[in-house]
Structure 1
Amino acid sequence: MSYALVTGAAKGIGKAIAAQLAERNYHLLLVDIDAAALTATAEQLAAQYHVHAHTLHQDLSQPDALLNVTTWSSIYHDELSVVVNNAGYGLNGAFEQLTLSEQFNIIDVNIKAQVGLSYAYIPVLRSFPKAYLLNLASTTAYQTVPYLNIYAATKAFALSFTRGLRHELRHSTVSVSALSPGSTDTDFVNRARMGDHIRSIANKFNMTPESVARIAVDGLFKGKAEIIPGFTNKLNAWLPKFFPKFFVERIAGNIYEPREKTGAVVLTT
């Protein structure tokens, strides 16, 4: 039986992707910053799907994160054929009102960790007749999003990076895909302290993590370049290119501009 590694696996989409992989008889290597939730997820999935689920409590923004993750997973590399770079988060607020360290931290997790883990695990994945790498992007990758500026920019990077990597590896045994979900029904809205105006819009278009994960894993194993779950999300990803950028930015800005509360709003994927 093969192993799959999933970052950001304690909750939400990451947990649901891990469940989909366990249902397909993959043992699990699960990484997350939330130790308690990660342990609970591992125990649940191991009992439900009768697979091994190993955990690593790790903040991927830390300088030693890449070394820690790869050292921990190294004893499983002979069986590790799926890697899912799911971890990521964002801050909702005006650029100049968020601290620089907060915004650099977003870049560390959403970009540096994804690039580093991709670089580290591609040689491992190459050793299999067929292997898979899934990087998390977002529907925000397809447009500028004021007040979610750094987050959206990192997701645009993730999408471009993943497509370029896919082309470079097109003659190898490694299939590379990008997952671009839209609004998903996880508890990040409560953790984010999002304003009522954002909540009401999100609630109209939410998908469940389970439905996103099912589409994601099906698309990954079919070798799709970009996986955008849901018809509405596909529209949100592709329609902006048919309108003037200032118009799209104005709409996004009206949605994400903080109103009820001041300060940062934390969003996690």
Structure 2
Amino acid sequence: MPTASTALITGASSGIGAEFAAQLAARGHDLVLVARSADRLEELAKRLGDAHGITAHVLVQDLAVPDAARRIGAELDERGLTVDLLVNNAGFGTSGRFEAIDGQRDHDQLMVNVVALVDLTHELLPGMLARGKGSVINVASTAAFQPTPYLAVYGASKTFVLNFSMALRQEYRGRGIRVLAFCPGPVETAFFEVIGTRKAAVTGSFATPESVVKAALKALAADRAYVTPGLSNALNAHLTPRRPRVLVAAIAERMSRGVRDARQGG
């Protein structure tokens, strides 16, 4: 994959983010670990530093606040750090009937999944351009490929991430910047505890963080536009856009009813 002296990973304290940190550290990258959990970040930074001889910087930041990316950029400048690989991994979901979901929670979801991702890309991509190299991995989801009833805001946010990433890739091809949309299916992480039900994994099958992150880094090295680890996920990603949109939404609603029923208690 492209040489990057330092990789910044949001949502790095657990799950896919922590796995990105581990695999990148094993490849010799220094790290900037961003999340809200200071203790978990410090533990991860020490463990990876001891294991791989890299430097892992900890940056505690809530990405739901409006100026989160600006604060991160200012902190990087103060520490004299440049970032050559940005992994916009942080994100969470809400589930259930739209009217039953707390509006502030959905607002915060969009701030983390969409606004912070765009703002942080604005903060770091110009420096990559100036240096003539850099990479961005934006974590989307297989939910990005169709409407997702009962996970409506989450699915829509990931559709934004996918289309935003692919547009940027086209803008910056030939200018030294690689942009990858990473679209995993269900992964064994705390995501489903936060969202409130494992039935949000409508396929019923789960991958490991290790396997999907490995696939993402391989796809970045190959300069792919997006990757959906797993054969069934890849097939659905390619076939779904070829079906009528209303039919896709109807099928997705039927498949997501388990999420609705779980949130209603039956």
Specify if TM > 0.5: yes
User: What displacement does 1:232 show?
Assistant: 1.6
CA–CA separation in structure 1 for the residues paired with 2:88 and 2:200 = 27
1:224 aligns to 2:224 (yes or no)? yes
Say whether the 8 Å CA contact 2:93–2:195 is kept in structure 1.
Answer: no
CA–CA separation in structure 2 for the residues paired with 1:98 and 1:68 = 29
1:215 aligned residue: 215
Query: Of 149, 163, 169, which residue of structure 2 is paired with 1:166?
Result: 169
More deviation in 243-252 or 78-87? Answer: 243-252
More deviation in 212-221 or 144-153? Answer: 212-221
Residue identity matched to 1:259? D
TM-score (norm 1): 0.89
- Which residues in structure 2 correspond to 1:66-105 (within 5 Å)? 66-75=69-78, 79-105=82-108
User: What displacement does 1:9 show?
Assistant: 0.7
- Which residues in structure 2 correspond to 1:108-257 (within 5 Å)? 108-194=111-197, 197-198=199-200, 201-202=202-203, 204-257=204-257
CA–CA separation in structure 2 for the residues paired with 1:215 and 1:106 = 26
User: What displacement does 1:44 show?
Assistant: 2.0
**CA-atom RMSD in angstroms:** 2.0
CA–CA separation in structure 2 for the residues paired with 1:66 and 1:79 = 14
Q: 1:228 to 1:76 in 2, by over 3 A?
A: farther
Q: 1:100 to 1:33 in 2, by over 3 A?
A: same
- What's the % identity of the aligned pairs? 35
More deviation in 39-48 or 113-122? Answer: 39-48
CA–CA separation in structure 1 for the residues paired with 2:65 and 2:235 = 36
More deviation in 24-33 or 169-178? Answer: 169-178
Q: 1:256 to 1:38 in 2, by over 3 A?
A: farther
User: What displacement does 1:23 show?
Assistant: 1.2
1:61 aligned residue: 64
Residue identity matched to 2:264? T
Q: 1:174 to 1:233 in 2, by over 3 A?
A: same
CA displacement 1:140-186 (0-9 Å, x = unmatched): 11100000001111111111111111111113111111111111111
Secondary structure of the residue that 1:205 maps to in structure 2? coil
Residue identity matched to 1:173? G
Secondary structure of the residue that 2:117 maps to in structure 1? helix
CA–CA separation in structure 2 for the residues paired with 1:193 and 1:116 = 28
1:266 aligned residue: none
Q: 1:119 to 1:79 in 2, by over 3 A?
A: closer
CA–CA separation in structure 1 for the residues paired with 2:200 and 2:83 = 39
CA displacement 1:177-215 (0-9 Å, x = unmatched): 1111111111322343306x556x55x421100111111
Say whether the 8 Å CA contact 1:92–1:256 is kept in structure 2.
Answer: no
Q: 1:229 to 1:54 in 2, by over 3 A?
A: same
Secondary structure of the residue that 2:31 maps to in structure 1? strand
CA–CA separation in structure 1 for the residues paired with 2:200 and 2:72 = 35
TM-score (norm 2): 0.90
Q: 1:67 to 1:188 in 2, by over 3 A?
A: same
CA–CA separation in structure 1 for the residues paired with 2:63 and 2:89 = 11
User: What displacement does 1:38 show?
Assistant: 2.0
More deviation in 140-149 or 232-241? Answer: 232-241
1:47 aligned residue: 50
User: What displacement does 1:79 show?
Assistant: 4.3
**Count of aligned pairs between the two proteins:** 260
Secondary structure of the residue that 1:175 maps to in structure 2? strand
Secondary structure of the residue that 2:131 maps to in structure 1? coil
Say whether the 8 Å CA contact 1:77–1:124 is kept in structure 2.
Answer: no
Q: 1:260 to 1:107 in 2, by over 3 A?
A: closer
Q: 1:98 to 1:77 in 2, by over 3 A?
A: same
Residue identity matched to 2:256? Y
Secondary structure of the residue that 2:84 maps to in structure 1? strand
CA–CA separation in structure 1 for the residues paired with 2:196 and 2:81 = 43
